[in-house]
Amino acid sequence: MSDVFDLKQFLADLPHLPGVYRHLDEAGEVMYVGKARDLKKRVSSYFQKTLSSPRIAQMVAKVARVDVTVTRSEAEALILENNLIKRLHPRYNILFRDDKSYPYLQVTAHDWPRIAYYRGSTSGRGQYFGPYPNSWAVRETIQILQKVFRLRTCEDTVFANRSRPCLLHQIGRCSAPCVQALSPQAYAADVQRAVRFLNGQAQDVMGEIEARMQQASSELRFEEAAALRDQMGSLARVLHQQTMEDTDSAEDADVIAVASAGGKACVNLAMVRGGRHLGDKPFFPTHAEGEPAEDVLAAFMAQHYVDGLMPPVLVTTHALPDKDLLGLLAEQSGAKAPRLLTRPQGMRRAWLEQAQKNAELALARALSESGAKAARTVALAQALDLDTDEAMLDALRIECFDISHTAGEATQASCVVFEHHDMQPSLYRRYNIVGITPGDDYAAMRQVLTRRFAKVADGEAQMPGLVLIDGGKGQVEVARQVFVELGLDIQSLVGVAKGEGRKVGLETLVFADDREPVALGKESAALMLIAQVRDEAHRFAITGMRAKRAKTRNVSRLEEIEGVGARRRQRLLARFGGLSGVSAASVADLASVDGISDELAERIYNALHG
C-alpha cells in the first residue's frame, strides 16, 4: 500500500451510508467500481482474509487507494456506478458493450396510419411495440402485418403524391389507402386488428375474421368472403410458425440465459412481446473469466436495464445474488418491479431452454472465431511491445484517424475503433473540419486530434491503447505536437505510411517517439490487422465526405435555379421531406407544389439530374 494512503484509518472513517467506491492502483487508474448499501461494510469486506474469487484477490493486491462517493440512496448509487463503469471501463468489472437503442415497430398517428421500423424515444405520437432484439425481427413483423392486414409502409411524401396503387397493392401486401381504395373506417379497423395482434390477442382476431367471413358468405358476398378466408389463412400460418404463449397470459417477458466455457461467458437475451417470441440477442462480457454465472447475470441486468424499462416478467437460468437489484432498477425507471422466474413452467420453460441452447451455440461460435482474432491482436502487441496480458489485450482499444476531401471540398475526418479483437462500428465518429485552408491535411489532422484528445486530457474520455494515423512522417509529427501540447503519452502514436503502389503488405510503421520505422512484411498478422483498421478508417471517411459533398452541391444547385427563391425552395423541401426527396420527385410531382409551374418543374428536374 502507498505510504500516503492509510487503509486502516480510511476503513475506520467510512460511514454506514449508501454510495459508490473505486479501487485505484499506484498509477491512479480505476481498476474496479462498485456500489454499496453500506459503504463501511462493503469496502471493508475486500480486505478480509477470504475473498469471493481469485480475480478479486488479484485486484485487491494492487489497490493503492480507495475513493468513495456517498449518495442519497442505493438506487442513486446504482446509477452512478453504471455511469462510471461505462465511462472508465475498469479492467476488473464485468463489462457489457454499450449498445445503441433497440428497434421498435411504430404504428403512426396519421389519419391513414403507417407501420414503420423505428429507433429512438417512444414518447412521441403513435403506438410503439417492442423493443425487438434486432432489426431483422422488426422487419419480419412488418412483413406479417403486410400479408395479413395489408397496412401501408410508404413514406408520407410518397403516400401524399400517389395517383394509382403501387406494386405492393398488386401483390396483396397493401390495401392502397393512398388512393382510398377502401374507406377510412375499414382501414382503421384493420389497424386496430393489427394492434390487437401485436398485443397478443391473435386468437381473438382470428375468431373475428372467421365470423366476418361466415357473415359475408351467408349474405352472398362471396368475393369479400374469399378475401377474408385468405386473410384468415395467412394469420393461421403465422400463428403456426410463431411460438405462442399457451396460457391466458400474454405478458411481455425477457428470457435471460447465461452460459460459460473456455474462460468466456455469453448472456443470451430472448424477447417475448404480446406472446410472440421475437428472437435472441447474445452478449459477450469482458472481464468475466472465472466469475459465477449469478454475478454475470447481475452485471448484465444492472447495465442493461438501468436506462430502460423492464418487462413485467423476467425468466432467468440463475437467481440473483442481490435480491434488491430488481427493486433498485424499477425505482430508477419508475415502474413496478418485475416478477423473476428461475423455475418456469409450460411455455416459459420451453423459452428458457431454447435461450440456454442458443447461449451455448453462440458461445461456441464466439470461442472459435475469437481464437483467430485474438491471435492477430497478440501478434500486434508483440510487434509493438505492448502488454500481452490476455485481459489487457481483450480490452485493447485502437483508434485510427483519416482525412478525406475532394480538392479541398467537404473535408471530413474519420475515427474508427477496434476493441475486443474486432471493429466496433457503433463507436465510429466523423468530424466536420472547418476554418482551414482547403486541402491542408496537416491542419485537418491537427483539428480532429485536438478535438478528440482534449477530452482525454480533461479526464472526460478514455485514452486508447494505440492511436493509428493514416499517413507518414508529416502527419505523425502533427499528431506528436498535439499530444505534447495536451500532455499525453506519444508512445501510443503510430503512423501507417503507404508502400509502393499503395499495396497492402508494403506499409511502413512510423513512430512519434525515437523508434526507427518498421516494415513488418506481407506475411505479418500484425500488419494485416493494422491494414484492416486503416482501410476501415479510409472507407468511413470517404463515405462521409461523399455524402457531405452531395448535400452541399444539391443545396447549391437548388439555390442557383432561376425562379426558385427562398419561399419556393422551402415549399419543395417541406413537401418532399428534404433534398433527397426533391431529387427523387418526378416533373409531375414537382409541378404539384403550390407556386411551381410545369415549366419550372421541368427546369428543376433537369438541373438536379443534369
The x, y and z cell numbers of residue 530, run together, are: 493494422
SS (H, E, C) 497-527: ECCHHHCCCCCEEEECCCCCCECCCCCCHHH
Quickly state the pLDDT bin for 243 (edges 50, 70, 90).
very low
**413, 403 contact by CB (below 8 A):** yes
Quickly state the pLDDT bin for 164 (edges 50, 70, 90).
confident
Q: Are residues 42 and 126 in the same domain?
A: no
Q: Are residues 113 and 233 in the same domain?
A: yes
How far is it, in rounded angstroms, from Cα 362 to Cα 342? 21
Nearest one of 112, 18, 125 to 74, comparing CA atoms: 18
Pick the residue with more confidence: 270 or 50?
Answer: 270
The predicted-structure confidence for 9-28, as pLDDT tens digits, reads as follows 888 889 999 999 999 988 88
Q: Are residues 61 and 196 in the same domain?
A: no
pLDDT at 329 over 50: yes
Does the residue 55 lie in any domain?
yes
The predicted-structure confidence for 248-294, as pLDDT tens digits, reads as follows 456 789 999 999 887 788 999 998 887 778 888 899 888 887 788 99
pLDDT at 246 over 50: no
The rounded percent of the chain whose pLDDT value lies above 90 is 20
Does the residue 134 lie in any domain?
yes
Q: Are residues 204 and 321 in the same domain?
A: no
Please state whether the peptide bond connecting residue 312 to the residue before it is cis, i.e. omega within 30 degrees of 0: no
Q: Which CATH number goes with the domain that contains 516?
A: 3.30.420.340
Q: Which CATH number goes with the domain that contains 568?
A: 1.10.150.20
The rounded percent of the chain whose pLDDT value lies above 70 is 88
Q: Are residues 309 and 332 in the same domain?
A: yes
Cell numbers 419550372: residue: 600
Pick the residue with more confidence: 31 or 156?
Answer: 31
How far is it, in rounded angstroms, from Cα 587 to Cα 323? 65
580 φψ region: left (φ > 0), alpha (ψ -120 to 50), beta (else): alpha
Amino acid residing at 363: L
How far is it, in rounded angstroms, from Cα 527 to Cα 509? 9
The predicted-structure confidence for 115-145, as pLDDT tens digits, reads as follows 888 887 777 788 888 788 888 888 888 888 8
Does the residue 584 lie in any domain?
yes
Pick the residue with more confidence: 366 or 355?
Answer: 355
Q: Name, in order, each residue with C-beta under 8 angstroms of 596's C-beta and a sequence gap of 6 or more.
A: 568, 571, 572, 590, 604
Q: Phi/psi at 272 (nearest 5 deg)?
A: -120, 120
How far is it, in rounded angstroms, from Cα 11 to Cα 30? 18
Nearest one of 295, 325, 319 to 74, comparing CA atoms: 325
The predicted-structure confidence for 494-516, as pLDDT tens digits, reads as follows 999 887 655 666 788 999 987 88
Helices (H) and strands (E) in the chain, counts: 21, 18
In the chain, the number of structural domains is: 5
Quickly state the pLDDT bin for 439 (edges 50, 70, 90).
confident
Q: Are residues 180 and 265 in the same domain?
A: no
Does the residue 94 lie in any domain?
no
Last residue of a domain, one of 320, 344, 365: 365
pLDDT of residue 236: 67
For residues 434-463, average pLDDT: 89
The x, y and z cell numbers of residue 5, run together, are: 494512503
Pick the residue with more confidence: 156 or 522?
Answer: 156
The predicted-structure confidence for 391-407, as pLDDT tens digits, reads as follows 788 889 999 999 887 65
Does the residue 517 lie in any domain?
yes
Quickly state the pLDDT bin for 70 (edges 50, 70, 90).
very high
Does the residue 375 lie in any domain?
no
Pairing of strands 253-261, 264-273: antiparallel
What is the greatest pairwise CA distance in the chain? 95
Domain that holds residue 302: 253-365
pLDDT of residue 99: 59
The predicted-structure confidence for 190-200, as pLDDT tens digits, reads as follows 898 888 877 77
Q: Are residues 330 and 260 in the same domain?
A: yes
pLDDT of residue 244: 45
The predicted-structure confidence for 540-555, as pLDDT tens digits, reads as follows 888 765 555 555 555 5
Q: Are residues 338 and 453 in the same domain?
A: no
Highest mean pLDDT of the ranges 82-91, 339-348, 426-435, 474-483:
474-483
pLDDT at 367 over 90: no
* Mean pLDDT for the chain overall: 82
Last residue of a domain, one of 520, 548, 576: 548
pLDDT of residue 27: 84
Residue 15 C-beta-side C-alpha neighbours within 13 Å: 10
The x, y and z cell numbers of residue 36, run together, are: 454499496
End-to-end CA distance of the chain: 73
The predicted-structure confidence for 186-241, as pLDDT tens digits, reads as follows 899 889 888 887 777 766 777 777 777 877 777 777 776 777 777 667 666 555 44
Pick the residue with more confidence: 568 or 558?
Answer: 568
Q: Which CATH number goes with the domain that contains 76?
A: 3.40.1440.10
Q: Are residues 22 and 53 in the same domain?
A: yes
Q: Are residues 121 and 178 in the same domain?
A: yes
pLDDT of residue 482: 94
Q: Are residues 409 and 522 in the same domain?
A: yes
For residues 302-309, average pLDDT: 81
pLDDT of residue 409: 64
**384, 527 contact by CB (below 8 A):** no
pLDDT at 412 over 80: yes
Q: Are residues 436 and 540 in the same domain?
A: yes
pLDDT of residue 493: 93
Last residue of a domain, one of 365, 380, 414: 365
pLDDT at 563 over 60: yes
pLDDT at 55 over 90: no
